[in-house]
């Protein structure tokens, strides 16, 4: 009842890329209750995280004072008690902490050149905060060594989309499934990772839609699937090429669409000849008749969509995986009409917006190349600053290697936790310990913050205002429901204060001013104004000041030369390391319904932590029996990078030669085990495949 609360504020859920709109109910200065409201992506629905995962915002571990590492602190490592920072840090005023943070970065940049300082920004911050972050590195240090967690989730998907359809965002919102009759969901587990989107997928099957689920794990949507293809891990390209081979062989493709809207078809057609279902079945583990049936079902659809997740993107062949999905949609003409399209399901609540805002090493806002002199000038004209490097910057994992090489000496890390999320994470932790100056801006003492020289206490999404963009390209307003605790501040304010001390002359006093600057060089924001967003969510592109935005794009061609999308053939590449006698099983990683990414928020949310309190790894019951392990007992997982001890859980959805490990648990950090080998195009690590040995602990 409204009378039970002091205030009710409309905002957006802080967790996943679905971007559910919420009403935040506050009593006595604290968030007491969250409920779903009628946003375009959720129509009142919420999942357990959005509904019950809010109380981390008032957790006693919140960073509430700026802090500077003590001169007599022990050596840097994962050794700080998040409940008592005083052994390693001392409180400081904002002025002292900001001077120290900016001064340390300036000093190293002056001594060694701007490239001594690199930045990781955050997909958990607003569009305005992401924009300011990339601007600070480019304007302040003159280069592009700035990245964020998109590198670890959909960088390969974005690379393939930009290459082949000319834009990195989805071509259709997930709500378009209402107009589809066939949909593929591949390498994604929306029931746990995009739960509200999954409700639309389930409704689609209830009204007769055919759902084709493809995943090495028997993910939750299988109960609703017309076809469940549990293919061998890493065999995506062989399976998808076999399906496309059938479409070519049986001439099920859309000739007119291909002729009008695409290029390189003949090369693709020729390439696919070598991938018959009979040949590929041995690689992907799916029977030829099933591959043929899926090909006919998809090609026979009036309107079909393809959804994918990190099972597609997090491979050394992640870009090739996405190229195959794009080719499948192009050859069947399934882009640009209601109920058709390509949709990589984005992870973090604002990973779309942060990528759009230029928080990546190769692109300025709106995916405009840093290598183009005219584009850089259009930004430096607005910024009133000097030109900066035309060289693509280093990515998240490359920056870690650059620290080890002794070149990057300082970092500014905002709301990102690479000491948990990077592959081969011990290698990353060693790098952060080596940094001469590490500025961490966050809400908790994350694992990364353990290595900080200065801690800047930031704000949760409940404590700030700004805009975020979800997986559907819907730009929505986040509104402050409670003030940040004690001396914590909104992230944009901290960025501005740092920039002032770096001599950049920033004068923003409100996020609306930052948004207005973004619209100057971002055509995706045409017709979208701060005032409009106060009253409505707008899907970009919006064609007029009253257009709510385009749910489906590219109905009349693509933003590429001659308006044509491109087929890029993909060949089968084996995983970087394959199981052998020493490491005979396959490990894959991911999320669980209750825990979000590195767990810093959800493990501090009472309800969510009560449901999933302990690190666990899932194996098939037969595998556990063969090892003499009961569910609930401890096992040891070892890869070429290291070992963890973790509780075994029985799960028939995992095939007998696999183990699934969520990456939210610091006490059994999955990324100690993962393989840092990267996709050569999207530079995304191979989180989804490592050779592992499993033993009773
Ligand atoms: Fe939040 Fe995603 Fe759940 Fe919606 S589906 S409530 S955005 S976590």
Structure confidence by residue, pLDDT tens digits, 413-460: 999 999 999 899 999 999 999 999 999 999 999 999 999 999 999 999
Quote the ligand 1 centre to 47 CA distance (angstroms): 5
Quote the ligand 1 centre to 592 CA distance (angstroms): 13
As a whole number of angstroms, the distance between CA 395 and CA 118 comes to 10
Quote the ligand 1 centre to 31 CA distance (angstroms): 17
Mean pLDDT of 149-166: 90
Quote the ligand 1 centre to 20 CA distance (angstroms): 6
Contact 682, 157 (CB under 8 A): yes
Residues facing 342 on adjacent strands: 306
Q: What is the pLDDT of residue 1?
A: 73
Greatest distance between any 2 Cα atoms in the chain? 73
Pocket test of ligand 1: the residue of 12, 20, 592 to mutate, having most ligand atoms within 8 Å of its CB, is 20
**Structure tokens that stand for 237 in this block:** 């390209």
Pocket of ligand 1 (CB under 6 A): 13, 15-16, 18-20, 42, 46-47, 49-50, 194-196
Helix (H, G, I), strand (E, B) or coil at 263: strand
Mean pLDDT of 642-663: 96
Q: What is the pLDDT of residue 516?
A: 98
Pocket test of ligand 1: the residue of 38, 47, 53, 478 to mutate, having most ligand atoms within 8 Å of its CB, is 47
Quote the ligand 1 centre to 582 CA distance (angstroms): 40
pLDDT mean across residues, the chain:
96
DSSP per residue over 501-553, as a string?
HTT------SHHHHHHHHHHH-GGGTT--HHHHHH--EESS--STT--B-SB-
Mean pLDDT of 375-402: 96
Helices 236-249 and 265-272 cross at an angle (nearest 10°) of 110
Which residue's CA is the closest to the ligand 1 atom numbered 4?
A: 20
Residues facing 585 on adjacent strands: 692
Which residue's CA is the closest to the ligand 1 atom numbered 3?
A: 47
Measured from the CA of 14, which atom of ligand 1 is nearest?
A: 1
Q: What is the pLDDT of residue 237?
A: 97
Mean pLDDT of 237-245: 98
What does DSSP assign to residue 123? Answer: T
Mean pLDDT of 528-553: 97
Contact 172, 337 (CB under 8 A): no
Confidence grade of residue 150 (pLDDT, cut at 50, 70, 90): confident
Q: What is the pLDDT of residue 154?
A: 83
User: Is the four-CA dihedral 174, 176, 178, 180 of positive or negative sign?
Assistant: negative
Q: Is the pLDDT of residue 466 over 80?
A: yes
What digits encode the pLDDT tens for the residues 551-566? Answer: 999 999 999 999 999 9
Work out the percent of the chain whose per-residue pLDDT is above 70: 100
As a whole number of angstroms, the distance between CA 225 and CA 222 comes to 5
- In total, the chain counts a number of residues equal to 697
The reported pTM is 0.95
Confidence grade of residue 149 (pLDDT, cut at 50, 70, 90): confident
Helix (H, G, I), strand (E, B) or coil at 303: coil
Measured from the CA of 16, which atom of ligand 1 is nearest?
A: 2
**Structure tokens that stand for 447 in this block:** 């694992």
Q: What is the pLDDT of residue 138?
A: 98
**Structure tokens that stand for 81 in this block:** 């008690």
Instruction: Tell me phi and psi for residue 341, to 5 degrees.
Output: 140, 175
Confidence grade of residue 597 (pLDDT, cut at 50, 70, 90): confident
**Structure tokens that stand for 56 in this block:** 């981390």
Q: Is the pLDDT of residue 635 over 80?
A: yes
Which residue's CA is the closest to the ligand 1 atom numbered 2?
A: 16
Q: Is the pLDDT of residue 219 over 90?
A: no
Quote the ligand 1 centre to 504 CA distance (angstroms): 37
Q: Is the pLDDT of residue 462 over 80?
A: yes
As a whole number of angstroms, the distance between CA 620 and CA 657 comes to 8
Mean pLDDT of 24-47: 97
**Which residues touch 607 (CB under 8 Å, ≥6 apart)?**
48, 52, 53, 55
């Amino acid at each position: 009842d409204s009378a039970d609360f002091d205030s009710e504020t409309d905002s957006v859920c802080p967790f996943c890329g679905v971007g559910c709109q919420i009403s935040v109910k506050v009593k006595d200065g604290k968030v007491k209750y969250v409920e779903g409201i009628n946003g375009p992506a959720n129509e009142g629905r919420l999942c357990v995280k959005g509904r019950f995962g809010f109380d981390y915002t008032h957790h006693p571990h919140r960073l509430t004072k700026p802090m500077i590492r003590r001169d007599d602190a022990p050596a840097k490592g994962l050794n700080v008690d998040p409940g008592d920072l005083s052994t390693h840090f001392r409180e400081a005023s904002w002025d002292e902490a900001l001077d120290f943070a900016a001064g340390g970065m300036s000093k190293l940049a002056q001594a060694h050149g701007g490239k001594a300082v690199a930045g990781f920004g955050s997909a958990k911050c607003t569009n305005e905060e992401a924009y300011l972050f990339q601007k600070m590195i480019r304007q302040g240090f003159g280069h592009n060594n700035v990245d964020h967690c998109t590198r670890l989730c959909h960088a390969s998907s974005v690379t393939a989309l930009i290459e082949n359809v000319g834009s990195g965002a989805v071509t259709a919102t997930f709500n378009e499934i209402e107009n589809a009759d066939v949909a593929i969901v591949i390498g994604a587990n929306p029931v746990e990772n995009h739960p509200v989107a999954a409700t639309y997928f389930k409704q689609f099957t209830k009204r007769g839609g055919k759902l084709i689920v493809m995943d090495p794990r028997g993910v939750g949507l299988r109960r609703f699937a017309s076809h469940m293809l549990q293919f061998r891990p890493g065999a995506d390209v062989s399976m998808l090429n076999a399906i496309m081979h059938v479409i070519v062989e049986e001439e099920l493709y859309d000739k007119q669409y291909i002729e009008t809207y695409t290029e390189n078809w003949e090369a693709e057609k020729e390439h696919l000849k070598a991938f018959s279902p009979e040949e590929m079945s041995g690689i992907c583990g799916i029977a030829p008749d099933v591959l043929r049936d899926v090909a006919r079902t998809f090609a026979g659809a009036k309107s079909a969509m393809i959804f994918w997740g990190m099972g597609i993107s997090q491979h050394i062949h992640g870009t090739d995986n996405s190229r195959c999905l794009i080719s499948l949609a192009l050859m069947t003409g399934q882009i640009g009409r209601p109920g058709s399209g390509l949709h990589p399901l984005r992870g973090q609540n604002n990973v779309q917006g942060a990528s759009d805002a230029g928080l990546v090493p190769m692109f300025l806002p709106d995916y405009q190349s840093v290598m183009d002199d005219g584009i850089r000038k259009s930004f430096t004209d607005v910024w009133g600053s000097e030109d900066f490097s035309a060289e693509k910057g280093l990515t998240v994992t490359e920056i870690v290697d650059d620290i080890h090489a002794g070149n990057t000496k300082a970092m500014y890390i905002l709301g990102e936790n690479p000491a948990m999320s990077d592959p081969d994470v011990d290698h990353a932790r060693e790098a952060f310990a080596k940094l001469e100056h590490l500025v961490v801006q966050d809400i908790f003492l994350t694992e990364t913050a353990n290595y900080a020289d200065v801690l800047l206490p930031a704000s949760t999404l409940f404590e700030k205002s700004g805009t975020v963009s979800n997986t559907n390209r819907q730009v929505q307003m986040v509104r402050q429901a409670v003030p940040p605790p004690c001396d914590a501040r909104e992230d944009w304010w901290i960025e501005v204060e740092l920039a002032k001390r770096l001599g950049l002359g920033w004068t923003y006093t409100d996020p609306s001013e930052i948004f207005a600057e973004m619209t100057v060089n971002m055509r995706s924001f045409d017709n979208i104004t701060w005032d409009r967003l106060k009253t409505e969510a707008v899907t970009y592109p919006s064609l007029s000041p009253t257009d709510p935005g385009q749910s489906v794009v590219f109905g009349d061609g693509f933003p590429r030369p001659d308006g044509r999308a491109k087929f890029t053939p993909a060949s089968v590449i084996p995983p970087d390391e394959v199981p052998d006698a020493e490491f005979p099983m396959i490990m894959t990683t991911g999320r669980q319904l209750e825990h979000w990414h590195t767990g810093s928020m959800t493990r501090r949310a009472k309800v969510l932590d009560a449901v999933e309190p302990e690190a666990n790894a899932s194996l098939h019951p037969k595998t556990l029996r063969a090892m003499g392990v009961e569910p609930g007992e401890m096992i040891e997982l070892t890869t070429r990078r290291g070992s963890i001890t973790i509780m075994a859980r029985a799960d028939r959805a995992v095939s007998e030669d696999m183990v699934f490990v969520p990456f939210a648990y610091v006490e059994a950090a999955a990324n100690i085990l993962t393989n840092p080998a990267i996709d050569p195009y999207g530079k995304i690590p191979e989180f989804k495949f490592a050779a592992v040995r499993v033993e009773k602990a």
